[in-house]
Structure 1
């Protein structure tokens, strides 16, 4: 899957304005957005959007409109990434992430976990999810808290990406975890990471859009569902997701910005779920519900 990085070089103040605008504009598509400092001395930053090659032209036009509407004069650059595992290329420079009792690390940091921690080794490949994003780390925080609070015998990781959440569940409990993703590359990465972490016998990774795959019907109901996706898809699938949850079951939703909380809570309350709590990590929101 070839990709292109579209980027805008700007000041730190402009990056603070542009980054959330770009995230909001492309939240339904799920394109990754990154904001980072490129020149500390000059105070220059870059706001980047990663898109598939066929979407580059339209995405570039939308970025130009976003900058113009914000009153900013930002030129848009383009970098062809080709068929490169660009996520894994950066993994070696990332430090371990601790969330609850979990520590997510790459192969270069196998000595990082402490005795009481649950280690999860992730090589992201071309799937989303190294554990370093606030959405994944926030899910792990809430997953740890919920597993200590309620029993779980059957779990679902919806939109699994690299498989980090499914692996966390499987390493916490001796149960079956169904892990689904719409992207075939992500499913392969999740399977590879499950083998790497010794839980391939527990984690079943499938390629599926929504709940259409027969394995959902085979495993329903789930007493734990984690979905680290985006607000648009989470709202669209509220009905289907809720009907797959067992009574007394827990739902953990992430991939959300704070201003999206009210809409998501309303959508899932309308399906009979009880809102429990919100957790903010690195400006990303994780919501916890349960079915009475």
Structure 2
């Protein structure tokens, strides 16, 4: 394994009360600090608040950062911004030291360093640990795999869609279990590239066709559908917005697996799909995250 030593970076961190304020703060910071000067990230916490982190290659102007945050989120948040230095570290090696193969029903998600640890009666899915989200260690990904395993015990869906594929782990799992072509999509072009690489590594490259698309706004969905099974590990708000379009691309009695939901968000997402004729079948909770299995009525 090649060593990947990440240089030391300067970090600014703060917490906001809600998603709207977090988006405002991120928009302001990304507008002022150009790509290469800083990397801005925002993550929702289990309690509903949002953590915002900005990494700088060089020491930032702390007064300017506080001024920008204050303009978006108020003086109290600006005053609470913390600054520190993140030491240089081989993050890939550190990740590999911490990650172990993750079992999920018939599937085992693992890194290349753990190929030999996959039981012969399981389907191994190799995803490198450097690709943090989507390795299977996150509760949403593992929940989706467990629900997929549950569906496959009684059905063999012919037309499958992995919507918001990320690293490709769910589409790869379905292709390995079903030995059938399927469609996967992601709004993010780098994710599409990574998913294609992972499909090839897992010897299902010819089966998993991966496209770049926003929602269902590509002709590929109508061409490959209607789908008997949709896997969508995204986030609560996009999932609610996609309920109507997804219903239009489902075959009769199709199953839908949804994840990326904090447990308190599951009720609202379920209601959005129930209103479109999808009934809940099963749900699973892992580490504060919820996965939903629904079926199109009729």
Scaled to the shorter chain, the TM-score interval is 0.7 to 0.9
Distance change >3 Å, CA 24–CA 147, structure 1 → 2: farther
Distance change >3 Å, CA 50–CA 159, structure 1 → 2: farther
User: Which residue among 97, 109, 114 is the counterpart of 1:109?
Assistant: 114
User: Which residue among 150, 167, 171 is the counterpart of 2:172?
Assistant: 167
Shift of 1:76: 2.8
Shift of 1:215: 0.9
Which residue pairs with 2:267 in the alignment? 262
Task: Check whether the contact 1:5–1:51 (CA below 8 A) recurs between aligned residues.
Answer: yes
Please give the alpha-carbon distance, in whole angstroms, between the structure 1 residues aligned to 2:42 and 2:102. 19
Which residue pairs with 1:77 in the alignment? 83
Please give the alpha-carbon distance, in whole angstroms, between the structure 2 residues aligned to 1:135 and 1:24. 23
Please give the alpha-carbon distance, in whole angstroms, between the structure 2 residues aligned to 1:232 and 1:261. 11
Which residue pairs with 2:143 in the alignment? 138
TM-score, normalisation: structure 2? 0.75
Task: Check whether the contact 1:128–1:186 (CA below 8 A) recurs between aligned residues.
Answer: no
Question: What RMSD in Å do the two structures reach over aligned CA positions?
Answer: 3.7
Task: Check whether the contact 2:12–2:81 (CA below 8 A) recurs between aligned residues.
Answer: no
Shift of 1:51: 6.8
Please give the alpha-carbon distance, in whole angstroms, between the structure 1 residues aligned to 2:281 and 2:75. 38
Please give the alpha-carbon distance, in whole angstroms, between the structure 2 residues aligned to 1:153 and 1:4. 50
Shift of 1:152: 0.7
Distance change >3 Å, CA 202–CA 25, structure 1 → 2: farther
Q: Which structure has the larger Rg over C-alpha atoms?
A: 2
Which residue pairs with 2:96 in the alignment? 92
TM-score, normalisation: structure 1? 0.76
Shift of 1:34: 9.0
Note if 1:214 corresponds to 2:219.
yes
Which residue pairs with 2:33 in the alignment? none
Task: Check whether the contact 1:254–1:286 (CA below 8 A) recurs between aligned residues.
Answer: yes
Please give the alpha-carbon distance, in whole angstroms, between the structure 2 residues aligned to 1:182 and 1:4. 30
Task: Check whether the contact 2:96–2:129 (CA below 8 A) recurs between aligned residues.
Answer: no
Please give the alpha-carbon distance, in whole angstroms, between the structure 2 residues aligned to 1:232 and 1:49. 19
Shift of 1:224: 0.5
Please give the alpha-carbon distance, in whole angstroms, between the structure 1 residues aligned to 2:250 and 2:118. 33
Size of the aligned set, in residue pairs, is 259
Which residue pairs with 1:61 in the alignment? 69
Distance change >3 Å, CA 184–CA 78, structure 1 → 2: farther
Distance change >3 Å, CA 214–CA 107, structure 1 → 2: same
Shift of 1:78: 6.7
Which residue pairs with 1:129 in the alignment? 134
Alignment of 1:112-261 (within 5 A): 112-123=117-128, 128-261=133-266
Shift of 1:244: 0.8
119-128 vs 208-217, greater mean Cα deviation: 119-128
Distance change >3 Å, CA 249–CA 188, structure 1 → 2: same
Please give the alpha-carbon distance, in whole angstroms, between the structure 1 residues aligned to 2:282 and 2:158. 22
Please give the alpha-carbon distance, in whole angstroms, between the structure 1 residues aligned to 2:75 and 2:103. 35
